[in-house]
Amino acid sequence: MTARARIKDVATLAGVSTATVSRALSSPDTVGPATREKVMEAVKATGYRINAAARDLRQRRARSILILAPDLSNTFFGKIFAAIQEEASAVGLTVQISDSRIGRDRLLSLGYDGRADGIVLLDGGIDPEVVNGWKLPLVQLSEWNDAYRAPRLGIDNRAAVGLAVDHLAGLGHRDILHVSGPRDNVLAVERQEGLVATAAARGMRATVHPGDFTMEAGAEAARHWAALADRPSAVFCASDECALGFISECVHAGFDVPGDVSVVGFDDIDFADRFLPALTTIHQPRAEMGRAAAARIVRMVEGPGMAGDDGPDVETLEPMLVVRSSTGAVQARGAARG
Amino acid sequence: MTARARIKDVATLAGVSTATVSRALSSPDTVGPATREKVMEAVKATGYRINAAARDLRQRRARSILILAPDLSNTFFGKIFAAIQEEASAVGLTVQISDSRIGRDRLLSLGYDGRADGIVLLDGGIDPEVVNGWKLPLVQLSEWNDAYRAPRLGIDNRAAVGLAVDHLAGLGHRDILHVSGPRDNVLAVERQEGLVATAAARGMRATVHPGDFTMEAGAEAARHWAALADRPSAVFCASDECALGFISECVHAGFDVPGDVSVVGFDDIDFADRFLPALTTIHQPRAEMGRAAAARIVRMVEGPGMAGDDGPDVETLEPMLVVRSSTGAVQARGAARG
DNA sequence: GCAGCGCATGAAATCGATTACATCTGAGTC
DNA sequence: GACTCAGATGTAATCGATTTCATGCGCTGC
């Protein structure tokens, strides 16, 4: 019991060949019932567990998928990781995880060393040469990059923004400040462009303040907003964290939300509905996104080949506007609250 | 370029044996400079990348560590995962991740299939037979279980609770409600016992309300608190999420925090300081915890054997009390605020 | 001039499974 | 009773690296 048992030990104990043991374990119906029984007993007696490296080498597959995300600690990803892992585990795949910003060479290796046989990529900012260099099934989730030759999956960000703008318009707002995300981030760009376009279409004024999705960026934007002579009555933040930072800073500065300014976030992270005020935001179905991406990559991995006949190039999930308490009807200019 | 290059292809192209290629790549100083050069060129020309399964099989190690946590989506874990992955990646290890509640057999396999050569376990609630059955280096992080034969690492929860109680005592509070975590969770037990003991030592009254670390539990506790005839002036929640749920529900019910009740959390999650009011809480150095655990497991994995001479059985990190705005001096009974 | 040494390299065994192919057995067919 | 065929099992090749051991070569020192 000291050293791990190998298949050979099981075979010896059961009085059969290793081939039979292998078959008894992976396709039980191809061996006789008596033999199967003997093998199973020997397995139990030896405590045998398969050596994955040996099997992976021979079968040229790893039964494992890799998740790559730009920042593992981002609250947004938690539910997605959990959902992917759950789906994967259900079909017997293990999950590797890595920050996608670990350096070109390390990154290339990850997709190339045979340890994973599929990748879920949550980062649209990787050099396309690296991504397209991986010879592995790949799905893009949430973020994307048109230069990657891989299907993608996520919500319709423009539609989402539309929901938010319509909501604000309905409350009488005519002037929106958008706190954007990083200029090189697809999501940020998409949301910003969507906002500008939709606002224009509704005859609203829209200004953009740069940010980077973080609470600190939101807080900074709040200071900027507070210093404006002509303060927009509504703010649309490119992420919930940013919105929380914005509100927090506003309140500290003595403003009331939504009395003085209505704030809309994006993502619907877990805290959104417990925040004070509860945050009006765009709900992204993160668990569903994770599940769908996992299901897709599993299909690609288990499927015949990287043919790509396993689904549409773009799978769109429905975003939802969740109206809570951080937005309200626009107040008359200069009127005190209460 | 269509099929992956193997070491043999590189060897042929460079006009050397596979042994030499292997040596040129893994211990460059053991081959002649000219040869090394030829090999490197051949590697570049063929686009060769090592096949991890083959190497793992031969070397009987996987260059990978496994993280097991009871709920991957828990906000608390994000920073820890990120830190572990960063440390691991720096020394060339990949990271696998799995929910630790995936079922006994699957779990056993994870620690047994040779895919990982070390485990960071964030769950003290797994059957000790399973854990001790793994023949792998293991470190316990945050949660622990005395039945596991493995070093553990985390903050001193009792000391942490002491900080919180002293803080509340200093503000004049004499009566604390503790919203606990699950009864079968070490952290919950430790914090609860610590609180009861410390409160007694300070001559304070302490009552315990059951919970499970979640926001919903906090909200439920708030409703319970609000219904009490003799409401404790301070509440200590076993987690930040719980505290946020508590505060949120209190405020919705018309109470003021900290005017009507002071609330202390535990963990110092990222939102704690942006919450309104900003949450007084125990700071857990999560990144540092992750780094330390990773460093420890790396030492155990790279080290001579599972001898255990690679550090103390219990590594304790310092918790810190972060005083923010959710706690304040106790008010006279029945006095209105302001 | 030769033993002895160290260095660079190659041949072949090895890690532990899966699987193509060969073999054997026994039942069914005519 | 010989022949076929299917099902169960064994033999050995295979996956792609690493590593042990052997070999050849050039130097040094006596």
* Range of weakest confidence among A183-197, B16-30, B320-334: B320-334
Q: Residue B309's pLDDT is what? A: 65
Share of chain A above pLDDT 70, in %: 96
Model confidence at A104: pLDDT above 90? yes
Nucleotides of chain D in contact with protein CB (under 7 A) are 7-12, 14-20
Average pLDDT over residues A109-113: 89
Pick the closest to residue A22 from A1, A14, B114 (CA basis): A14
B269: closest chain A residue by CA: A75
Interface test with B, best of A274, A289, A291, A326 (most B CBs within 10 A): A274
Q: Residue B335's pLDDT is what? A: 45
Pick the closest to residue A311 from A331, A288, A325, A295 (CA basis): A295
Cβ distance B75 to A72 less than 8 Å, yes or no, reads no
Average pLDDT over residues A142-147: 98
> Cα–Cα distance between A254 and B262 in angstroms, integer?
22
Q: Number of helices and strands (H, E) in chain A?
A: 12, 12
Taking the CA of residue B16 and the C1' sugar atom of nucleotide C5, their distance in angstroms comes to 25
**Under a CB-based contact definition with an 8 Å cutoff, are residues A3 and A12 in contact?**
no
CA distances (Å), A306 to each of A136, A151, A198, B82, in order? 8, 11, 38, 31
Please tell me if residue A132 touches chain B, with a CB cutoff of 8 Å: no
Q: Residue B338's pLDDT is what? A: 40
Tens digits of per-residue pLDDT, A4-20?
Answer: 899 999 999 999 999 99
pLDDT bin (cut points 50, 70, 90) of residue A47 is very high
Please tell me if residue B64 touches chain A, with a CB cutoff of 8 Å: yes
Contacts of B295 (CB under 8 A, 6+ apart): B87
Q: Residue B304's pLDDT is what? A: 61
| Token representation of residue B106 | 């699957």
Tokens 């991890």 belong to residue? B52
* Per-residue exposure over A254-277, b if at least 16 CB sit within 10 Å of its own CB, e if not: ebebbebbbbbbbbbbbbbebbbb
**Under a CB-based contact definition with an 8 Å cutoff, are residues B218 and B245 in contact?**
yes
Closest chain B C-alpha to A230 CA, distance in angstroms: 26
Average pLDDT over residues A55-80: 96
Taking the CA of residue B35 and the C1' sugar atom of nucleotide D27, their distance in angstroms comes to 21
Chain B residues within 8 A of A54 when measuring between CB atoms: 57
| Token representation of residue B197 | 């003991």
Model confidence at A87: pLDDT above 80? yes
Average pLDDT over residues B249-267: 97
Taking the CA of residue A23 and the C1' sugar atom of nucleotide C17, their distance in angstroms comes to 11
Model confidence at A321: pLDDT above 90? yes
| Token representation of residue A60 | 């040229």
Nucleotides of chain C in contact with protein CB (under 7 A) are 7-12, 14-20
> Cα–Cα distance between A235 and A243 in angstroms, integer?
8
Q: Residue A310's pLDDT is what? A: 76
Cβ distance A89 to B109 less than 8 Å, yes or no, reads no
| Token representation of residue A79 | 């539910």
Tens digits of per-residue pLDDT, B209-224?
Answer: 999 999 999 999 999 9
Average pLDDT over residues B53-68: 96
Radius of gyration of chain B (CA): 26
Share of chain A above pLDDT 90, in %: 91
Chain A residues within 8 A of B278 when measuring between CB atoms: 248
At residue B165, the 3 state secondary structure works out as helix
Write the single-letter amino acid at B167. Answer: H
* C-beta neighbour count of A126 within 10 angstroms: 19
Cβ distance A248 to B109 less than 8 Å, yes or no, reads no
Q: Residue A1's pLDDT is what? A: 43
Q: Residue B337's pLDDT is what? A: 42
Backbone angles phi, psi at A21, to 5 degrees: -60, -50
Average pLDDT of chain A?
94
* Range of weakest confidence among A292-296, A304-308, B181-185: A304-308
Closest chain A C-alpha to B21 CA, distance in angstroms: 17
In terms of DSSP bridges, do strands A138-141 and A119-121 run parallel, antiparallel, or are they unpaired?
parallel
Taking the CA of residue B31 and the C1' sugar atom of nucleotide C14, their distance in angstroms comes to 22
Tens digits of per-residue pLDDT, B187-217?
Answer: 999 999 999 999 999 999 999 999 999 999 9
Average pLDDT over residues A71-81: 96
User: A32: which nucleotide lies closest, measuring CA to C1'?
Assistant: D8
**Closest by Cβ to A53, choosing from B62, B78, B135:** B62
Average pLDDT of chain B?
94
Model confidence at A336: pLDDT above 60? no
Model confidence at A204: pLDDT above 80? yes
Taking the CA of residue A37 and the C1' sugar atom of nucleotide D7, their distance in angstroms comes to 17
Chain A residues within 8 A of B57 when measuring between CB atoms: 51, 53-54, 57
Hey, which residues does A263 pair with through a beta bridge? A235
Element housing B152 (H / E): strand B152-155
Tens digits of per-residue pLDDT, B108-161?
Answer: 989 988 899 999 999 999 999 999 999 899 999 999 999 999 999 999 999 999
Radius of gyration of chain A (CA): 26
Share of chain B above pLDDT 90, in %: 91
What predicted TM-score, i.e. pTM, was given to this entire model? 0.94
Q: Residue A335's pLDDT is what? A: 45
**Under a CB-based contact definition with an 8 Å cutoff, are residues A295 and A333 in contact?**
no
Model confidence at B226: pLDDT above 80? yes
At residue B80, the 3 state secondary structure works out as helix
> Cα–Cα distance between B327 and B338 in angstroms, integer?
16
Closest chain B C-alpha to A106 CA, distance in angstroms: 9
Cβ distance B72 to A52 less than 8 Å, yes or no, reads no
Angle between helices A33-46 and A18-26 (to 10 degrees): 100
Taking the CA of residue B93 and the C1' sugar atom of nucleotide D17, their distance in angstroms comes to 18
Cβ distance B51 to A72 less than 8 Å, yes or no, reads no
Cβ distance A95 to B95 less than 8 Å, yes or no, reads no
In terms of DSSP bridges, do strands A94-99 and A119-121 run parallel, antiparallel, or are they unpaired?
unpaired
Tens digits of per-residue pLDDT, B265-302?
Answer: 999 999 999 999 999 999 999 999 999 999 999 999 98
